[in-house]
Amino acid sequence: MLFARNHSTLRQKMVQNQIAARGIRNPRVLAVMRKVKRHLFVKPQYLSVAYKDGALPIDCDQTISQPYIVALMTDLLELTPTSKVLEIGTGCGYQTAILAELAKEVYSIEIIPLLAKNAKARLDGLNYQNVHLKKGNGHYGWQEYAPYDAVLVAAAPKDVPKQLIEQLAMGGRMVIPVGGSEQKLLLIQKGLQKEENAIPPLETTEVIPVRFVPMTGRTK
């Protein structure tokens, strides 16, 4: 019980000191960051630092993102309880769980088989029934269930994959890190078509410099 109470206290401090103090104000985002137990998604040797201000290693040379970055990317999507979300890069499933708490449906793709297997077991064990997982190349998105109100990409391609833009609903928002040795987090907003068959306008905003693992795979 003491172990559980300690983690609860650390989680509250994480939100106060790392997230709210850096300008995240959305009450739904703050509430879900307080709720989802990050220590359940890290490797056993990192339990003591599960709520520290930084990324941590997971299997297959990948990482679980810094809590602030998870909160920031989630906040930028402006999710509602009716949102349908596409996530590229399931990883350990922590960001997936955050999205699942805020949206109606989450479709998440992971290219690394071990990560996909472990994330499914973890999220199933936590009874997330609105999460749909598959192993695949995130460059191509998940056309079967498109369009998506929001797209979150948790690995950095050199350029924004056109398939993800195509699968974003009109009026939708995408958050994606882009670049090589230097990366920037982008918010891409897809406007509404003003005329039939017209190309919907895109508005791209550079948010902050970031460091994500490279997106595996190539576009066609």
In the chain, what are the domain boundaries? 55-210
Range of 148-157, 191-200, 208-217 with top mean pLDDT? 148-157
pLDDT, tens only, 41-93: 999 999 999 999 999 999 999 999 999 999 999 999 999 999 999 999 999 99
pLDDT > 70: what percent of the chain?
93
Joined tokens for residue 118: 């472990």
Name the catalytic one among 8, 48, 65, 181: 65
- φ/ψ of 62, rounded to 5, equals -105, 180
pLDDT at 21: 98
pLDDT category, 218, cuts 50, 70, 90?
very low
Specify the pLDDT at position 195: 65
pLDDT of residue 219 exceeding 70, the answer is no
Q: Which fold has domain 55-210?
A: Rossmann fold (3.40.50)
Instruction: Name the pLDDT band for 187 (thresholds 50, 70, 90).
Output: very high
Residue 65 annotated among the catalytic residues of the structure:
yes
pLDDT of residue 217: 58
Q: How confident is the model at residue 199 (pLDDT cuts 50, 70, 90)?
A: confident
pLDDT band for 205, please (50, 70, 90 cuts): very high
The pTM of the whole model exceeds 0.85? yes
pLDDT of res. 110: 97
What pLDDT, on the 0 to 100 scale, is given for residue 172?
97
Q: Residue 18 has what pLDDT?
A: 98
pLDDT tens digit sequence for 19-43: 999 999 999 999 999 999 999 999 9
Report the pLDDT averaged over residues 147-165.
97
Q: What is the pLDDT of residues 86-142, one digit of tens each?
A: 999 999 999 999 999 999 999 999 999 999 999 999 999 999 999 999 999 999 999
